[in-house]
Amino acid sequence: MAEINLFLIFLGSIGFDLLIGDPRFFIHPVQIIGFYIKKISDCLINNFGTNKYILFWGGLIIAISTIGISFSLGKLIELSYMQLRNNVFSGLLIFFGLSSCIATKGLISSVKEIARLVECEEINEKNERIIKEKVQRIVSRDVRSSSIKHLLRSSTESLTENSVDGIFGPLFWIFVGIIFIKFSIYLPGPLSLGFSYKAISTLDSMIGYKYDYFRYLGFFSAKIEDIFTFVPSRLVLITLPLVSSKVNEYGSIIKKSYLDGKKYDSPNAGISEAIFAYISGIKLGGKSKYKNEIIEKPIINVTGDNCTEEKIKLICRLILRLQFLWIIIFALIFFIISSLI
């Protein structure tokens, strides 16, 4: 019974995120995780910035401790809920905790706002500055000198890549936790795996870069994120065409997306960007500025159109449809397993 209640809490947390997003009166777990990562990272960089070996092993300690603390906190709340027989307070902590792991409303709203500003506002110096500020909040590249065309591409690339990190990755690992906890309350559960994945993606977004001292400090964080996002990104690859108008091109779209996605250094980012690019008919990749370095990413869907406000809205609709499909699939799997054990 407790496992069924957990699944219902999971469904409720998804609905809460879609309707409300992250309540402003709560401290978001990512803020706490980010504070911890930044403090230790700054200490290592300021004191040992020229020693790549200390940065390398220090980065491992940061990764293990951040993930370990996040997992332990989630596990303690799960055990409290299960052992105290559906304790209401613990149930609420799980509800809000799971909702905080999923970023559907926040991600879609921020990118839609950028698209709306580009579409509706007269592009003068003031409005362009506002748009750049909003784009900079969701991307790691430097967009201060970017054109409107590049700002739309940057926003779209962030939306397609972060849809896995912020939505489908957490959904996958939370569901795995719900299945695990059916067999034993001491196995990783939905909140412990949800918090762990959130810690992993936060580590990667903060220190998992390949320039300056981050190439050493964030090495392990980037590799761990690659491992834990590998399956969710490929599930997005094979399921996204099912909720699109191009389902009749299923095989060819997956093949082209996989081949283009493999050109990226990241084993996951290219895959997720490519499947969205081919289904929405846009071209992604090209030159981007990171600090003082210009990096040219491989072109995805070379014959595609430029990113536009309408294409961004289409991608947002695809994300919502795919999330709904995943929930249906998860529910079927959950009740089939429940009937067998």
- Cβ contact 259:272 at 8 Å: no
Strands (E), 220-292: 284-290
Residue 256 pLDDT: 95
Q: What residue numbers bound the domain in which 173 lies? A: 2-340
CA distance 102 to 228: 16
- Cα 173 to Cα 169: distance, rounded to the nearest angstrom: 6
Domains contained in the chain, number: 1
Kind of pairing between the strands at 284-290 and 293-300: antiparallel
Distances (CA, A) of 165 to 107, 159, 213, 216: 11, 10, 24, 22
pLDDT per residue as tens digits for the range 63-105: 999 999 999 999 999 999 988 876 889 999 999 999 999 999 9
Q: How many CB atoms lie within 10 A of CB 245?
A: 10
- Whole-model pTM: value is 0.93
What's the average pLDDT block by block, 10 residues per block, for the chain (341 residues)? Answer: 82 93 76 92 89 93 96 95 84 94 92 84 73 85 82 91 94 96 92 97 89 87 96 97 94 95 89 95 84 80 90 95 96 90 73
